[in-house]
Structures are given as C-alpha cells and as structure tokens.
Amino acid sequence: MRTILIANRGEIARRVIRCCHSLGIEAVAVFSDADAGLPFVREADRAVRIGPPPADQCYLDMERILDAARRTGAEGVHPGYGFLAENAVFAEAVIAAGLTWIGPPPAALRAMGDKSAARRLAHEQGVSPVPGYDGADQNDATFAREAERIGFPVLVKAAAGGGGRGMRRVEQAAELPDALASARREAKSAFGDDTLLLERYLERPRHIEVQVMGDTHGNVLHLGERECSIQRRHQKIFEESPSPAVDDALRAALGQAAVKVARAAGYTNAGTVEFLLDPEGHFYFLEMNTRLQVEHPVTELVTGLDLVALQIRVAEGRPLPLTQDEVPLQGHAIEARLYAEDPNRDYLPSTGLLVRFDLPSGDGIRIDSGYRSGDTVGVYYDSMLAKVLAWGVDRDEASRRLLRAVDRSWVPGVVTNLPLLRQVLAHPAWTSGELDTGFLPRHGLPALPPLNLDRGAVAATTFGWWHRMQRATWPGEVLPGWRMEGPAVAEDRWRCGNTEVLVAWRTLGPDQLEVTVTVDEEAPATHQIRVLGSDGDALTVELDGVVSTWRSALRKAHPGDPTQIEDDDVVYTHFGDGESMMALAPRFPPPLAADAPAGSCIAPTPGTVTALHVAEGQEVRKGERLATIEAMKMEHVLEAPEDGTVIAVLVEVGQAVDQGAVLLRLDTGEE
C-alpha cells in the first residue's frame, strides 16, 4: 500500500500517521468541523472534511469515509480504536470497495465483537468465562431470574463495544430494572446495539489482558500480558506490562488460552483477549477486543515491536517476522491516561481551551497525545487527551519515571485527572503491586488535591508584577508600587474556588519584592522574592532562599490587554512539584446574579438529555433520579437534592443543554 486513510481522530490518528510516514506510506486523515484545527489534520499528507461534529454525522458515517478514500486514492483503511473499528459492516464495505481493511476479518469481528458469542466460543475451547447469562432472551424478567441464579452483585454489560460503556454494577434485585434501562440507552447510543448480558461481579479481581497478533499464514502469537486493574467507571486509567501478579507459568497459561481463542475465531491482525484473575490465581475469559487497544504502546515498549507496522504488514498479506520463542520481553512499561475530567465530581467531563498543554520528555518517557496548547476540548468525543508512558529496567524505575512525568505535566485551562494519577503512583499499594479493579474506592481515591493557596497567591502576584516591570519603557520609569516617599504597599485579592486570599506587596528593587499573604483568618505570612531570570512565561525565582522555576499562564476572563492581569483573569502556575489556579478578584464586585431557585436540578456539564425519570406533579425523595444527561459518550444521573414535588420540567429528551442549565424545578418547601 502507498496510501492509507485513517478513519479516526486525535491521538490514535497521529499515531498511525507517524507509522505510515516511517514506512514511506502517505497518510490521509478525515476530520469533523470540531476537529479542523487539531494536530492530526495538519500532520496528515492530506485531510478530508467529512461532516459536522456529532459522531454519527462524521466518524460513524461509513459512506462519507469511503467517499474520502475514493477521492484521495487511498488503498487501505486503518480504523484505529473506537468509532467503526469493530464494526463488521464497515469492514465488509471497505473490502467491497476494493480497499485493504487493516484489521481482523469481518467474520472474526462478528464472532468476538459480540460478547455473548465470544463467551460461548471461549467456553467451547475450554477457556472458562466469568459465570453469567448471555442468552438471546432480553426480557427484564429473564434478566431478573438469571441474576438471582448468578447471585448479587452482578454486572450488566453491553454485548457490543467496550470502553466501560453500557456497564452497570447491581447490588440488589430492586436496582436491576433501572440498570438495564440505563445500560441499554448507553449501549444503543455508543454502539447502535442495546443487547445486554449479565456476569457475576467478582470481588477484588485483577484485570489482565493478552496482546495477540495473527497473520494470514496461520501464525498467531501472544506478546505478553498487560495489567489494567486500576479503573474508573469500568474504564482503564493505568496499564502496565508485565503484571506484578503474573509469573512465567501463569503468563504461559494466559498466552496459550488467548491464542487458542484467537485461532478458534479465525483471527488475524491485532487483538486483545481479556481475563479477570481472582485472588486465588484462577483466570476467567472476559471478552476479546477486536482492534488495536488504547494501551498498545505498553506492549511496544517492552517488546520493541511496532504494532501498527505489524498490522499493516499483516494486512498486506505478509507473514509475521518472528516466532513465539523470538518475542522479546524486556523491562517494565506503565501507561497513565490523561483525561479532561474532574475525578472529584464523579468524573464529569471537562471542556474548554487548553491554555497550555505541556507534557514532559526524558529518558524512558513516551507521550502519545491528540492536542497541543491553544486547542479546544469539546463535548462530542471521548475525554482522553493523551497517554503518558514510562519504561524502566524494572517496575520501580518505571514507576518513579512516570510519577516524575505526571508531576511535571501541566494542562491548565480544563480540569484533568492529573491529581488522581499522582495520588495513585505515590500510594503504597501501587508501590507494592497490590492492585485490583476496586483500587480507587478501597483507598479513598480520588482525594481532593492541595490548593497551594499561599504559594499560588505569591506566584500570581509575582507573575503580574514581573510583567508590569518588563513593560517599563525607559530606565528612570517609576517602579510598580513606589510613591514619592518610598516603596508603598499595594494590595490584591485573589480567589481560588470559594476561598479569598489577600496579598499585600511592595517593590524592593527592579528584581525583588516582598509579599504578605493572608488566607481567610489565618495569620499572615511574609515572603521575600527575587526574580533571577525569565524565559517566556517561565520565571526562575528565589523564594525565601530557595531557587526554583515556575511556569505561569494567563487566561483572560474578558477582552482586554493580553499582557495585563485584570478583574476575574486567572493565573495558572506550575511549581515543578504542584500547581495552582488563582483568579484576580474585582476591586468593585458587580451585584451578584440571582441563584437558581432552591431545589433546582442543574446540568453539571454540557450534554444531551437522554432520559427524564419524573413528571410534573410527581413527589420525589432526596436522592431519587430526576434526569440523565450524556456527555462525552458517558451517562450522568442527576438526583433530587431534597424531598419535594416536581413543579416544572424545562427540557425534553434529546435536547442539548449547557452547563448550569436548569433542567427541572422542585418545590422543596424552602423560600
């Protein structure tokens, strides 16, 4: 093949483009209106606009993608992961158009893409699936009966797709009907198929997956395992290879089982066979992901193989270049997924401008990202921004390298899960390798990250002061904060959330100032700061005798001087071992806008209303479900804040809403 079209976006599109270029192949990108400015569009040799932002009008539109392939003369199609990657109909359409499909054959997609069918195939091969129900009867009564047989808690799962979508844990029978309805909606939206299955919820299992690769010459290899136990909402956050729980004997058994399942499915190209490993060392078949995985770089780092290049090689009909005995496994690799989401608000997705997108480089560090500084994160697609990976000679070295990398990562402008990544990597249970799928709640994570109020206020004040100093136009110009009688004290008020910080400062010289910080009613603290140098927005400072470098960035709240901090502007600072976000409080605050009425149900994020669970006039109890909205492919259930009566339903199912929109109003008896 000389030209390959990538039927995907963002980080994985960039990854495939890089591989194509390394092989001397031209890469064609497709993009939606929302993605027109992202890096993958510019890095491709050619790019074709395929529609407006909603996924079903662009990246899920088969005809538009095939038309782009025809218009650009592409000879092959790489689907990446997500969207149409596991869609057998799309694979058949690609082949029917005379193009090369860079993925498993449609028959294997059908056999293994349906989790129910995959469970049955694994069982036939002597590979035990997790106990459950995967029958064709989809009636709620049947699920209720089977759940009682399996025993609670159970897991409701979408039979199609993956990524944790359409998955609900059910603790007791009364919760099952709502879980089925919600899982069906999410599965239908994400995969176009609302078929469900049940599985026994295993307590404290590890999630272990095996990378397989097959060619059209009868060769099927496994490339070792990855552990993916640390998850949120059934979606992975960390992946590593090898697993700290897998020895050589277990690795051989897992690999043999994975290859057996892949052969039985007639599988070629890249795929992943997933297992749950219980505390006693027994493993159970979970599912097969019939595509390249998000976490494939972990395997690449420990094997030295380029999995995308192998995919292309197999699609071209060539045999795999090595045997099972020749697969190298060296060192340890760990991946952390960076998401635009707020772990302390039930992982609500975050949108907005990436004021900075600084991810580190260094020995043993690999960054796969879809964004850069100045890009906008929207509401239409998955919230993953990048993958930060580290390789080391052993797990300890890889962990230390990765912790330093995420410590130094800085993504101001949107809320991210960086604080959670740091908390996990610093936790003793991570260090000891004591992992399972319940790791986060078991260890009380996520925890609220430190606000760095004192240091943040000092940095924001220093940042503003230094830039005012740099605007001096002649040597004799009066320094900021000076008066005829000598240095005077100036004051600023900064806000971080609901906390206000008072800063009194005075200039002591052209590179030196004194800052006194008062947080709430605490005793004031005075600091001496000297600026030793600057490089763009980075300042090297001596704070109370300690020298370090701060990176700062300004986000304007309103149009104005882009170099001057004004009311409500936000200063972000990264200290190397922490970060802060401080907004300059107006000296003359405007009158407060009226708050939403008591009992209002407010949209916590931009999204689409997918369900209304109550009607006007209905009485509800605190915690009862009111509405469900979908954002970035995930459903979020909104609950009644108090007991009351629904007095107004202000939205309809299918309606798009902004963050802060009032969806329903309740009469809670409050004035």
Beta bridge mates, 154: 170, 200
Q: How far is CA 610 from CA 58, 61, 633, 651, in A?
A: 21, 22, 11, 10
Residue 473, pLDDT > 60, answer no
Decide if domain 601-667 falls under CATH 2.40.50.100. yes
107/125 Cα distance (integer angstroms): 18
Mean predicted confidence (pLDDT) in 441-467: 95
Residue 162 has pLDDT above 80, yes or no: no
Task: Tell me, letter by letter, the H, E, C secondary structure of 273-336.
Answer: EEEEECCCCCEEEEEEECCCCCCHHHHHHHHCCCHHHHHHHHHCCCCCCCCHHHCCCCCEEEEE
Quick one: pLDDT band at residue 633, thresholds 50, 70, 90? low
The model's pLDDT over 124-151, given as tens digits with 9 standing for 90+, comes to 999 999 999 999 999 999 999 999 999 9
The pLDDT mean for the chain works out to: 93
320-374 tens-digit pLDDT? 999 999 999 999 999 999 999 999 999 999 999 999 999 999 999 999 999 999 9
For residue 563, what pLDDT band results from cuts at 50, 70 and 90? Answer: confident
The catalytic residues are 291
- The answer, yes or no, to whether residue 516 has pLDDT greater than 70, is yes
Instruction: Confirm whether 206-442 and 601-667 share one CATH topology.
Output: no
Q: What is the CATH number of domain 453-584?
A: 3.30.700
pLDDT at 314 > cutoff 70: yes
Would you call 412 helix, strand, or coil by DSSP?
A: coil
What is the pLDDT averaged over residues 277-295? Answer: 95
User: How is the chain split into domains, by residue range?
Assistant: 3-102, 131-200, 206-442, 453-584, 601-667
pLDDT band at 598 (very low <50, low <70, confident <90, very high): low
Higher pLDDT, 424 or 577: 424
| Secondary-structure class of domain 131-200 per CATH | alpha beta
Q: How far is CA 511 from CA 466, 529, 564, 565, in A?
A: 8, 8, 18, 19
Q: Say which CATH architecture domain 206-442 belongs to.
A: 2-Layer Sandwich (3.30)
Which of 606, 670, 595, 601 lies closest to 640, judged by CA? Answer: 601
Fold classified for 3-102 = Rossmann fold (3.40.50)
C-alpha distances (whole Å) from 232 to each of 214, 409, 627 are 31, 21, 22
Q: What is the pLDDT of residue 592?
A: 43
Percentage of the chain surpassing pLDDT 90? 81
Q: What is the pLDDT of residue 474?
A: 47
Asked if 129 and 119 count as a contact pair (C-beta separation under 8 A), the reply is: yes
pLDDT tens sequence across 474-488 = 444 445 544 444 456
Residue 251 has pLDDT above 90, yes or no: yes
pLDDT value at residue 596: 56
Give the model's pLDDT for residue 444. Answer: 97
* Sheet arrangement for strand 100-101: 46-51, 26-32, 3-6, 76-78, 100-101
**Choice between 331 and 630, residue whose per-residue pLDDT is larger:** 331
